[in-house]
Amino acid sequence: MEPRFIPQMEPWFDEAEAKAVFDYMKSGGWVMEFQKTEELERMIADFTGSANCMMTVNGTVSLTIALLALGLKNGDEVLVPNLTMIASPNAAALVGIVPVLVDIEEDTLCMDLHQAQEALTPKTKALMYVPFNGRSGDMEKVVQFCKKHRLSLIEDAAQALGSYYKGKHLGTFGAFGSFSFSVPKVITTGQGGALVSDDALSLQKARKLKDFGRSRGGIDIHDEWGWNFKFTDIQAVIGIEQIKKLPWRLKRKKEIFKRYKDGLADLKDIQFIPTDLENTSPWFVDIFVREPDTLLKFLKKESVESRRIYPAVHLQNIYRKSYAKKAFPISEHYASLGLWLPSSSKLKDEEIDYVISVIREYYNAQAKSKIKSKK
Ligand SMILES: Cc1ncc(COP(=O)(O)O)c(C=O)c1O
C-alpha cells in the first residue's frame, strides 16, 4: 500500500460539530460560558461517575485552581512525578507552590510511593498523581498514603479520560481530578480543562476562583480572590458532540494499542508497559526502545511521524538547577527510551500495519548490519 503521510496525532471533527456550532450561533447564544457549558459539565460528571464537574480554560489551569481551592499557598509543597508533561509541575509553580519531583515505578510509569515517602517535608501539603497514558498504580495505596500523611490528593488525569482502576474512573479517587481537552486528547474542545470532585464545597471554591471570586455571575461583590478562567459555550457545543463519540473513540484507542502490541510482540528490542485494556484506554501508543531518535528518523523517512515522550522533568532547563544533585534513575531511563507512535483514532488498520512493517524493516536492517559487522 502507498500510504499517506501518517501523523502521530490528528483531531477528528465531522459534520456533527460543524452543524452544532452553526445551530448554536443561529440560536443567538452569547458564546461565553453558560448553559451549554453546564450541559457538558453534567455529561463529564456522569461519564466519570463524579458528583460535580467544572469546565475551565485548559488542563494546566485546572490543576492550579485545584491546588488553590484546597488551600495551598506560596511556599507549600506538592509531590509531582518526574515523568509527566511539564504542565503538571508548572501548574503549581505558577502560584508559588513548590513542585517536588518524585521518581516513578517501572511497571506503570506513575509515582513511586516509596520515593514519595522520602520526599516528604513539613511543607508537603498535597500529592499530584498522574496516570501516565491512562495507567495507574494501586489507587487504594495512593489514597491510604495521602490519608496517612494528611496530603490532599489531586489526580492529573489529563491522559486518562476513559481509564479506570478496578472499575472506578481515574480522577475520582482524591479531592479533585483534572482533565484536559486539548487537541491531542481522546476528545477535544480545542483547548479546555475540567475538574471533577465529589465534594460540592471544594468545587464551589474552584468555581469562585475561576469567576473573579464571586458566588455567581452578574454580581460585583467579590468576597474572595478570583480571576477569569472561564470556558465558552462555543467550545462546549463542540465538546458535547465529541463526548457523544467517546465510547467509540475509547474502544478504537484500545484496538489500536492492541494491534501495535500484537504486531510487534516478537521483537525483543521493543518494550511495552504492561497495559490492562479492560481498565485502560491509552490515549497514545508508547513504546520503549534503545535508540528512539534513530527509529524516529527511519519512520519519518517512510512518511510516519512519531514523537519522543517527555524528558524527565528534572532535566528540563527550568528545573535542572534545583535538582542538580538528585538522581531519578527510573524516570530518566524511560524518558530516554520512549517514543509515541501514530495514535489517532482516525488511523486505519492498514496504516497501523504499515507502521508495524516499517518498524520491522528497521529492526531487520539492524540485525543484518550486526551480522555483517561480526563477519
Ligand atoms: C499529564 C498532563 N497534564 C496536564 C496537561 C496540560 O493540559 P492542557 O494542555 O489542557 O493545559 C497535559 C497535556 O497534554 C498532560 O498530558
Average pLDDT, the chain: 96
Give the closest residue to 8 by CA, choosing from 211, 246, 240, 308: 308
The three cell numbers locating residue 22: 452553526
Whether 96 has a pLDDT exceeding 90, the answer reads yes
Q: Give me the percent of the chain exceeding a pLDDT of 70.
A: 99
Whether 1 has a pLDDT exceeding 60, the answer reads no
Whether 153 has a pLDDT exceeding 60, the answer reads yes
- Closest ligand 1 atom to the C-alpha of 91? 4
pLDDT tier, 368 (very low <50, low <70, confident <90, very high otherwise):
confident
Give the residue whose CA is nearest to atom 8 of ligand 1.
59
212 touches 62 (CB < 8 A): no
- The per-residue DSSP string of 197-212 comes to ES-HHHHHHHHHHHBT
Question: Which of 57, 163, 182, 313 most suits a substitution to test ligand 1, by most atoms within 8 Å of the C-beta?
Answer: 182
Whether 53 has a pLDDT exceeding 80, the answer reads yes
pLDDT tier, 5 (very low <50, low <70, confident <90, very high otherwise):
very high
Whether 348 has a pLDDT exceeding 70, the answer reads yes
For residue 158, how far is its CA from the centre of ligand 1 (angstroms)? 5
Whether 2 has a pLDDT exceeding 60, the answer reads no
Average pLDDT value for residue range 276-300: 97
For residue 85, how far is its CA from the centre of ligand 1 (angstroms)? 6
The three cell numbers locating residue 256: 489500536
For residue 136, how far is its CA from the centre of ligand 1 (angstroms)? 16
Whether 146 has a pLDDT exceeding 60, the answer reads yes
Average pLDDT value for residue range 98-125: 98
- Closest ligand 1 atom to the C-alpha of 182? 10
Quote the pLDDT of residue 375: 66
Q: Is 73 a catalytic residue?
A: no
Average pLDDT value for residue range 191-195: 98
- Closest ligand 1 atom to the C-alpha of 62? 11
Question: What does the pLDDT look like over 74-84, one tens digit per residue?
Answer: 999 999 999 99
pLDDT tier, 372 (very low <50, low <70, confident <90, very high otherwise):
confident
Question: What does the pLDDT look like over 238-274, one tens digit per residue?
Answer: 999 999 999 999 999 999 999 999 999 999 999 999 9
Give the residue whose CA is nearest to atom 7 of ligand 1.
59
Whether 3 has a pLDDT exceeding 60, the answer reads no
Could you give the CA distance from residue 43 to residue 48 in angstroms, rounded to a whole number?
9
pTM for the model stands at 0.96
pLDDT tier, 124 (very low <50, low <70, confident <90, very high otherwise):
very high
What type of residue sits at position 274?
P
For residue 139, how far is its CA from the centre of ligand 1 (angstroms)? 21
Quote the pLDDT of residue 181: 98
Q: Helix or strand or coil: residue 192?
A: coil
51 touches 100 (CB < 8 A): no
Quote the pLDDT of residue 4: 81
Pocket residues: Cβ below 6 A from ligand 1: 58-60, 84-85, 87-88, 130, 156, 158-159, 180, 182, 193
Quote the pLDDT of residue 216: 86
Average pLDDT value for residue range 340-366: 96
Quote the pLDDT of residue 369: 81
Domains of the chain plus CATH, in order, are: 15-244 (3.40.640.10), 246-374 (3.90.1150.10)
DSSP alpha helices (H): ranges in the chain? 15-26, 35-48, 61-69, 87-93, 113-119, 139-148, 200-210, 233-244, 246-264, 292-301, 317-320, 329-337, 349-374
Quote the pLDDT of residue 371: 76
Location of C-alpha cell 481551592: 69
146 touches 174 (CB < 8 A): yes
For residue 358, how far is its CA from the centre of ligand 1 (angstroms)? 30
Question: Which of 85, 136, 309 most suits a substitution to test ligand 1, by most atoms within 8 Å of the C-beta?
Answer: 85
- Active-site entry in 36, 185, 245, 254: 185
125 touches 99 (CB < 8 A): no
- Closest ligand 1 atom to the C-alpha of 132? 1
The three cell numbers locating residue 327: 538522581
pLDDT tier, 112 (very low <50, low <70, confident <90, very high otherwise):
very high
